[in-house]
Amino acid sequence: MTRITRILFTLLVFGISFLLYAAPSAVITTPNNTVATYTSWMVQGTASPDTTAVYLKVGTGAYAKARLTGGVWKSSVGLTQGRNVVSVYAQNAAGVRGPEQSITILYGTTAAAATTDGGLIQVDGGTATPAPTAVVPDVSFVTEDKTVVTSSAVMISGTAVNAAAVYVKSGNGAFQKVKVEADGKWSVAMALAEGDNIISAYAEDAAKKASAAKAITVTCQVPVEFAFAPVTGSVEAPLYTLKGVSKNAVKVLLKIGTGATIEVKPAADGSWSGTVALAAGDNVVRAIAVTAGGMKSAEQNIVVTHVPAPAVNIDGRTFIISGTITGGTASSVFASVNGGQFITATGTTSWSIAVPLSDGPNKVDVYTKSAAGTITLVKSLQIVMAGTAGGKPEIIEKPGQGQGQGSSHGQGHGYGTIRLK
């Protein structure tokens, strides 16, 4: 083989190798820094004649095969907010991969990869049109979450954007429409229940498109005030009416020792009174006030000292009244003569009380106290005393007013007027 022949043979082999192994190419015709208005965007370009497939990807995602027809390729890609780098390469029948090319597509507001200057997006030193921003309503609270208030009447406030109105509600109540001012601020007066109140709000634009709802918790702790009226000195009567004032309370609970709790309802002005039965000596009365929501005041105590009056026997004239309790039970029975000292009866279901009488009319009131602490006036008797001590009593029944029974110790029952001679 001559030298010229060898050179021609070498060139022929090189040419065939070049044709077999030359890399294909793909060119992107979609402009760089395109501002997309949809999350799905069409990217396209051209490919060299030896290209049999074109592959592209977005960011660090996986490559996907584009549609290739007559040297032109195109593919729809999914975009995310901000800057999206789209990369492309071509491949020939021998599997040889061509060089990769890429462009940047922008969608929505500026991402961290792009910077802003005067509202325009800048990428790689070039300025593009501002990225479109979706116009949607939104709402936020100025009133802080987990706010604690001491009044049920509160003002809830916040701000809204792209909103024609804001709708606000508490708990499971109905939403109420609230006006949004020109500066985006809104506020509404609300009545809260005691305890935690979940306040929800959402914004709505002129086209009735609603934002997502947002919520905060506002806790209402209504203060409960309570005070006793002072007790002066000791008390002779076994029943005593305590008095006091309360604020924001619907009931006052009174209790002595381990006895039953007496519930008292305050008047409109907060004043209240409740009658308790006293034992001889010091009686510690414990009391708390309770609001409608169940909040309780601090417990307050007051000491009522009961010093029973000594038994009185006027000229030996002691009259015994007795009776029975029907239709219920009583923990004790008391009597009072002419509004004076209280005298405790012996027994409950069947009871008797020795009451001292003076000359002339004597009004005797009989009370019962239930196991729950309720004190009730059950009988009123009028006994007229005349004559000398030791005289045999004669009981005269007044028609239509009950009956009386006389004996050497003068027993009487009912409402009848009893006259002793």
pLDDT over 60 at 111, yes or no? no
* Averaged pLDDT score across all residues of the chain: 77
Report, as an integer, the average pLDDT of 226-252. 85
Q: Which tops the pLDDT comparison, 112 or 142?
A: 142
Instruction: Give pLDDT, residue 17.
Output: 47
Torsion of CA 74, 78, 80, 86, to 10 degrees: -30
Please state which CATH class domain 318-420 belongs to. Answer: mainly beta
Instruction: Give pLDDT, residue 167.
Output: 96
> Confidence band (pLDDT; 50, 70, 90) for 120?
very low
* 266 CB burial (10 A radius; 0-12, 13-18, 19+): buried
Residue 387, by phi and psi: left (phi above 0), alpha (psi -120 to 50) or beta?
left
The sign of the torsion formed by the CA atoms of 377, 383, 389, 394 equals negative
How does DSSP classify residue 235?
B
> Confidence band (pLDDT; 50, 70, 90) for 393?
very low
Residue 193: count other Cβ atoms within 10 Å of its Cβ.
14
Domain ranges of the chain: 3-128, 138-220, 225-306, 318-420
Instruction: Give pLDDT, residue 309.
Output: 64
Q: Which SS3 state, helix, strand or coil, does residue 7 take? A: helix
pLDDT over 70 at 114, yes or no? no
Instruction: Give pLDDT, residue 176.
Output: 94
Instruction: Give pLDDT, residue 57.
Output: 92
Instruction: Give pLDDT, residue 354.
Output: 82
* pTM score over 0.85: no
Instruction: Give pLDDT, residue 326.
Output: 67
- The full 3-state SS of 372-403, as one line of letters, equals CCCEEEEEEEEEEECCCCCCCCCCCCCCCCCC
The CATH architecture one would assign to domain 3-128 is: Sandwich (2.60)
Distance between CA 27 and CA 137 in Å, rounded? 42
pLDDT per residue as tens digits for the range 180-209 = 999 999 999 999 888 889 999 999 998 889
Instruction: Give pLDDT, residue 168.
Output: 96
Radius of gyration for the chain, computed over Cα atoms and rounded to the nearest angstrom: 49
Distance between CA 336 and CA 141 in Å, rounded? 66
Distance between CA 67 and CA 32 in Å, rounded? 21
The CATH architecture one would assign to domain 138-220 is: Sandwich (2.60)
> Confidence band (pLDDT; 50, 70, 90) for 4?
low
pLDDT per residue as tens digits for the range 20-55 = 456 888 899 999 888 887 777 889 999 998 899 999
Q: Kindly state the helix (H) or strand (E) to which residue 103 belongs, with its residue range.
A: strand 101-107
Distance between CA 421 and CA 223 in Å, rounded? 63
Report, as an integer, the average pLDDT of 59-80. 88
Q: Which amino acid is at 116?
A: T
Instruction: Give pLDDT, residue 7.
Output: 56
Please state which CATH class domain 225-306 belongs to. Answer: mainly beta
Query: In CATH terms, are 3-128 and 225-306 the same topology?
Result: yes
Length of the chain, in residues: 421
Angle at 81 between CA 80 and CA 82, to 5 degrees: 110
